[in-house]
Amino acid sequence: MNWGVILALAIVVRVISEAAARKASPGAPPRPDALGAGTWRTAVRMVLAPMAIVFAVGLAAGQLWCALLLAPLVPFIAPWLVARHAMIPLGLPRAAYHVTLLSDWTWRADRRGGAALAAAWALCRARKPDAAVEAWVSERVEGAGGRGGAAPAPPSARPEPLRGAGVAAGAMLAAYRGDLEGARALFDSVAGFDERACPPEARRIAAGWLAADAASRGDWTAVLERARQREGRGRALSLLGAIAARLLGEEPAPGALELWRRWLAAPHRRATLPLLRRALAAGEGAPRPEPEEPEPCAAKVAEGDLWSRAVLLHATLLLRPRGKVSGDDLRRLGGAWDAALDDERAQAELRERALSLGASGAQAALGPLARAVEEDLAAALRAARVPRAAWDDLGATIGRTRRRLRDELLSEVELACDALRRRVDEKRELPALAEWREWTSLRAQYEAAAEIVGTELRRLAFPKVHADVCHAAVWLFNSRKERAIANAMFRWLLAEAEALEDARLAGLQRGNVGCGV
């Protein structure tokens, strides 16, 4: 066997892979040495990895002694494989970080962010992590994106711009600290990055975490929606999607053999076995429709006692768990209050009582009562996030509630935009991950308000949101050099402008998106 030829071929393969990695991220800035020593990086790329390839070829040719020399070199030839299946499950954050730094092929668009993600993931799997390890991982996660501050760091010490894997690393660290809402928002935002600024593996990890989180909460509709998205789909998500389809009775429901096949192909088979058995027990047909609940409190009031019925329905609505308020509940309650407030007999009783108390009339008592009812309904709608379509055109009381809620949510979105604009104008920098979290929080606030109130709020709020968010994104792109997160903000503004059919703003954002990452 000509070992010199094999070594030469291995080096050629390595050089070609380096060129492909550079081509995959043509706009990426020069990266500082991940291990702090250029000579070590060169040795890894040009000597150790080719040697590992040579020993692997020798082992395949029957030279068993090559296995002893190949074993310590495996991290250099398949670093992400080692980190993903050994370092992370064993809960070794430092080892996972340094091994993942060698994974040019998997994390070429964001190698430092991928290493930080591996470290945070390993921290989540660690049995007894201490504060020092958490602080070390937190420092690496923050180092995956630029830092804020008045005095810029020297170019050699300046952290890399934040990219998709760095955001996923921040999400994983937030999940470790128990901030599940923040983790969901950050993981969900990974899909908004341009593919040149977000490795596919980061998308797969984010999609898998979100699906597993939804499954743990019993939100199988969200699991199925996530599984139907082709981007970021992996074996675990494929299994959860099949289980969700079976439990929800979607047609065509996957059969038992298909479920077993996906379960065998997916990781964490012991943990997902109970879900598999539950799906198998559900059967292939659609689930039986649940019996309709009787109207609450209908039998507890006398016939014609409109005030008592409205009050009892109101109390029942306020006592419902979050997320259990439906359009039918609002229809019943709104109709009950409309009937009670417009009842002639009730109006007469109020006038008599007002006269006996020296009040000016019935409206002096009805006005505060109606406002209190509207405030309670608005709070219930916000807490349950009932979509506009479920409670639109349900009577006068609901109509007044909608207008009140629209004005409140619009004012809150505008205040958040003003705060962002003021901070940018004052050039008060935040770390890149904190900048991204502020933007995702503002976007979530806008989208939640639009879901509750509808297109009316989007058309009223978007000009203000566009002006202030675009101003912040331009600052991030030009001054902070955080082009990846700025590009993601431009992409969202473009999609929203197109959805609202605003040709002028859409044209502006197409130009901004075209500036690259």
Residue 5, pLDDT above cutoff 50: no
Q: Is residue 271 part of a domain?
A: no
> Both tokens of residue 437?
């979290």
Residues 421 and 489 in one domain: yes
Q: Is residue 472 part of a domain?
A: yes
Question: Of the residues 342, 365, 394, which one is the last residue of a structural domain?
Answer: 394
Going from the C-alpha of 38 to that of each of 43, 44, 78, 148, 494, the distances in angstroms are 9, 10, 21, 27, 41
pLDDT band at 224 (very low <50, low <70, confident <90, very high): confident
Residues 384 and 461 in one domain: no
Residues 330 and 372 in one domain: yes
Residue 230, pLDDT above cutoff 70: no
The boundaries of the domain holding residue 355 are 298-394
Calculate the CA 31 to chain-centre distance: 28
Nearest to 310 by CA among 319, 299, 301: 301
> Both tokens of residue 246?
């079976």
Q: Is residue 109 part of a domain?
A: no
Question: Of the residues 364, 394, 424, which one is the last residue of a structural domain?
Answer: 394
pLDDT of 337 reads 76
Residue with tokens 């923050």: 142
**What pLDDT digit, counting tens, does each position of 268-287 carry?**
888 888 888 888 887 655 44
Q: Is residue 506 part of a domain?
A: yes
The count of domains in the chain is 2
Q: Are 74 and 99 in contact (CB under 8 A)?
A: no
Q: CA 29 to CA 42: how far, in whole Å? A: 19
At 479, is the secondary structure helix, strand, or coil? coil
Q: CA 496 to CA 515: how far, in whole Å? A: 19
Q: Is residue 370 part of a domain?
A: yes
Q: Is residue 452 part of a domain?
A: yes
Q: Are 154 and 122 in contact (CB under 8 A)?
A: no
**What pLDDT digit, counting tens, does each position of 14-58 carry?**
555 555 545 544 444 444 443 443 455 555 666 666 777 777 777
Residues 352 and 443 in one domain: no
* Helix-helix angle 131-143:93-100, to 10 degrees: 20
Residues 308 and 376 in one domain: yes
Residues 508 and 403 in one domain: yes
**What pLDDT digit, counting tens, does each position of 239-264 carry?**
888 888 888 887 777 888 888 888 88
Residues 416 and 382 in one domain: no
Q: Is residue 283 part of a domain?
A: no
Q: Is residue 168 part of a domain?
A: no
Residue 392, pLDDT above cutoff 70: no
Q: CA 69 to CA 86: how far, in whole Å? A: 19
Residues 342 and 386 in one domain: yes
